[in-house]
Chain A
């Protein structure tokens, strides 16, 4: 098969090679905004789920009386707390993915296409290989 790789160097826009343009992009206000958008979600979410998980583990260790209390039938607090960890894990994954599609991806793609104009063209025809 012939190579479908675009030849990057030939069509490089002004401003030097990709590395140089990337370094310059770092100070671009749009890149700062991109990073801020990532951190704004990822940092509080990570602190929250780690704290929530550790609370669960610590309570399993030190609050056994409370955890053993039966809520419905023989299903106790510990079981529901455990199941809630599944719910929050799925929930955070869904919220993050939505947030990323809405607030992160469009800006990231915009900056990437600017840095690498050749990639914007027929989007690397995935699926054909592999």
Chain B
């Protein structure tokens, strides 16, 4: 039952390693195949725009459902009950913003990046620079959180404890090896396979993830004879929180008795997080560029519909997985492995495997879910890497440095090298940050996307008066306010330490320079970003109604939209 039970560890590790190796071999093979078809810029950045709605829907799911959603939300539900579910809902509802306001219009009016749309009727260089800075910041923060998590996970999934070694690796070495292997793989997928390779890795992951989640959910439910009520009462009893486990308030918006100020702060923090989640998704660069991989705007719509179906189903399954882990594994056994609950899903898989087929099936299930988790990390980091390298090559190198004069071959070559650079930088950062508390970076990436990117995208498409200064001010205003506020928030310093003496903030517990009370900046930074865009626009005389007319006609009718590559 215990993840690390001595007698079964070596068997589990062997199966886990075999599955990891198979997964790596398959994804590399797919990448090699994709690399043969990756010649033009449209091939590299957008996979030749030839994916179908279903394929892209799965790829979007694969891109979006990071380890933070799969392992993090299942763990959060297992430990805190209802609040984990509350968190997942923001991730789903957000897709309506993408469906109704962004996907189709972006597909019609852009080529490769978010900046294509924002800079359409503006002065190219300042707007592209700003969009590129924002894209890189969001992607690198997100990437860093994923990679630090990946290091810890690989060590955990292989079951290497403090003082223990496997293949000559201690837990600390395994963490670094995990980070480096993930970093190298993502660079290989992106620089060789481009968007086609990345997309297939994401599709494979989405299929594995849905298959794994469905299987474990079905097994959990069958243990309870499909009586969800019984599962819920078992989960709430096992949690020790009783009925409160099924109610909001265990994790977010916690009421602190006798401290009205902290209670208010906690509650506003949840609203702030909710806003960032729901408005951030449609401003995440690695999500936006997925809309360019299909032939036209109608297929972009279909792919978002598929994504909504897949992501929604997945979060419903996660609810059962979380409750199942609370009931069948128990909070104590989960936190013993990982205080954030990240191993709840693999532990649950092992527990149901044990239940139905003894230790061997338990070991196989554990290894399978560990492989799913590994695939999950790989596909998300690959998506983030291609978003960064496309923006560096297309927006920064070609449009800003070369004033649009670079050839396609040159742009693709720069993009491939940019992927290597992004990979190297994030490996180094992640190794340095490996023992820091960086989980907040995911929420921060959503907050930046909601504050800096989404307002500017919507104004570009719908506000006639919008201009260069507005776009630049909106992007930098949203970016600086969200990053700045987080810098002076409790997640960076001043949150104190946990029972084990680890700092709850990024900085050691002895350092405290925080003055902004909320952990999530969205409540303030989203209005600031909007306001900067409006004020910037109105203080500049620039107005180009002719270009706006062309942009809107193109966005709505699709006339002049980029076509699927033909080679």
Binding site for B on A (CB under 8 A): 1, 3-5, 18-19, 22-23, 25-27, 31, 34-35, 38, 41-42, 45-46, 49-50, 53-54, 56-58, 60-62, 64, 67-68, 73-76, 78-79, 82, 85-86, 89-90, 92-94, 96-97, 100, 105, 108, 111-112, 115-116, 119, 124-130
23 A-B pairs (CB sep. < 8 Å): A18-B560, A22-B549, A22-B553, A23-B553, A25-B553, A26-B550, A35-B556, A45-B96, A54-B271, A60-B249, A60-B270, A75-B228, A75-B232, A86-B312, A90-B309, A93-B96, A97-B305, A116-B560, A124-B295, A129-B564, A129-B566, A130-B48, A130-B49
Q: Are A96 and B270 in contact (CB under 8 A)?
A: no
The 9 closest A-B pairs by CB, nearest first: A130-B50, A26-B549, A115-B559, A60-B248, A57-B274, A22-B553, A112-B557, A73-B229, A68-B247
Q: Which of B84-92, B351-359, B371-379, B402-410 contacts A (4 or more CB under 8 A)?
A: B84-92
List chain A residues, Cβ under 8 A from B92. 85-86, 89
List chain B residues, Cβ under 8 A from A19. 550, 560
Q: Are A90 and B312 in contact (CB under 8 A)?
A: yes
Q: Which of B97-105, B185-193, B439-447 contacts A (4 or more CB under 8 A)?
A: B97-105
Q: Are B100 and A46 in contact (CB under 8 A)?
A: yes
* Bound-state Cα–Cα, A51 to B519, Å: 23
* Bound-state Cα–Cα, A18 to B85, Å: 49
Q: Which residue of A lies closest to B271 (CB)?
A: A57
Interface residues of B in 247-275 (CB under 8 A from A): 247-249, 252-253, 267, 270-271, 274-275
List chain B residues, Cβ under 8 A from A23. 546, 549-550, 553
List chain B residues, Cβ under 8 A from A129. 48, 50, 564-567
Determine how close the nearest CB of chain A comes to the CB of B194; give it in whole angstroms: 12
B316 at the interface (CB under 8 A from A): yes
List chain A residues, Cβ under 8 A from B566. 1, 3-5, 124-125, 128-129
Known: A45-B100, A111-B559. A79 touches B567 (CB 8 A): no
Q: Are A124 and B564 in contact (CB under 8 A)?
A: yes
List chain B residues, Cβ under 8 A from A85. 89, 92-93
Q: Is the interface of B mostly helix, strand, loop or mixed?
A: helix
* Bound-state Cα–Cα, A42 to B100, Å: 6
Best-buried of A5, A53, A97, A119 by chain B (most CB within 10 Å): A53
Q: Are A61 and B100 in contact (CB under 8 A)?
A: no
* Bound-state Cα–Cα, A82 to B50, Å: 36
- Which of A53, A64, A127 touches B93 (beta carbons < 8 Å)? A53
Q: Are B553 and A53 in contact (CB under 8 A)?
A: no
Q: Which residue of B lies closest to A60 (CB)?
A: B248
List chain A residues, Cβ under 8 A from B308. 89-90, 93
Determine how close the nearest CB of chain A comes to the CB of B271; give it in whole angstroms: 6
Interface residues of B in 220-258 (CB under 8 A from A): 228-229, 232-233, 236, 243, 246-249, 252-253
Q: What string of 1s and 0s marks CB contacts (under 8 Å) between B300-335 and chain A?
A: 011011001100100110000000000000000000
B278 at the interface (CB under 8 A from A): yes
List chain A residues, Cβ under 8 A from B37. 130
B563 at the interface (CB under 8 A from A): yes
- Which of A18, A50, A126 touches B559 (beta carbons < 8 Å)? A18
Q: Are A22 and B274 in contact (CB under 8 A)?
A: no
Q: Which residue of A lies closest to B269 (CB)?
A: A61
Q: Are B274 and A126 in contact (CB under 8 A)?
A: no
B291 at the interface (CB under 8 A from A): no
* Bound-state Cα–Cα, A57 to B97, Å: 17
List chain A residues, Cβ under 8 A from B554. 22
List chain B residues, Cβ under 8 A from A60. 86, 248-249, 252-253, 270
Q: Are A78 and B247 in contact (CB under 8 A)?
A: yes
List chain B residues, Cβ under 8 A from A112. 557-559
- Which of A61, A74, A86, A92 touches B271 (beta carbons < 8 Å)? A61
Determine how close the nearest CB of chain A comes to the CB of B546; give it in whole angstroms: 5
* Bound-state Cα–Cα, A34 to B315, Å: 36
Determine how close the nearest CB of chain B comes to the CB of A57; give it in whole angstroms: 4
Q: Are A46 and B248 in contact (CB under 8 A)?
A: no
List chain A residues, Cβ under 8 A from B312. 86, 89-90
Determine how close the nearest CB of chain A comes to the CB of B559; give it in whole angstroms: 4
Q: Are A54 and B96 in contact (CB under 8 A)?
A: no
Best-buried of A26, A35, A100, A128 by chain B (most CB within 10 Å): A26
Determine how close the nearest CB of chain B comes to the CB of A74; give it in whole angstroms: 5
* Bound-state Cα–Cα, A74 to B236, Å: 10
B27 at the interface (CB under 8 A from A): no
Q: Are B270 and A116 in contact (CB under 8 A)?
A: no
Q: Are B559 and A22 in contact (CB under 8 A)?
A: yes
Determine how close the nearest CB of chain A comes to the CB of B40; give it in whole angstroms: 11
Q: Which residue of B lies closest to A37 (CB)?
A: B556
- Which of A25, A79, A130 touches B246 (beta carbons < 8 Å)? A79
B474 at the interface (CB under 8 A from A): no
Q: Which residue of B lies closest to A114 (CB)?
A: B559
Q: Are B50 and A38 in contact (CB under 8 A)?
A: no
Determine how close the nearest CB of chain A comes to the CB of B548; give it in whole angstroms: 8
Q: Are B96 and A49 in contact (CB under 8 A)?
A: yes
Q: What string of 1s and 0s marks CB contacts (under 8 Å) between B14-51 and chain A?
A: 00000000000000000000000100000000011111
List chain A residues, Cβ under 8 A from B124. none
Q: Which residue of B lies closest to A17 (CB)?
A: B560
Q: Which residue of A lies closest to B48 (CB)?
A: A130
Q: Which residue of A lies closest to B554 (CB)?
A: A22
* Bound-state Cα–Cα, A30 to B133, Å: 39
Known: A3-B566, A67-B248, A112-B559. A53 touches B278 (CB 8 A): yes
B69 at the interface (CB under 8 A from A): no
List chain A residues, Cβ under 8 A from B560. 18-19, 22, 115-116
Best-buried of A19, A38, A61 by chain B (most CB within 10 Å): A61
Q: Which residue of B lies closest to A108 (CB)?
A: B557
Known: A25-B553, A93-B99. A130 touches B564 (CB 8 A): yes
List chain B residues, Cβ under 8 A from A35. 552, 556
Q: Are A49 and B93 in contact (CB under 8 A)?
A: yes
* Bound-state Cα–Cα, A26 to B312, Å: 38
Q: Are B556 and A108 in contact (CB under 8 A)?
A: yes
List chain B residues, Cβ under 8 A from A116. 559-560
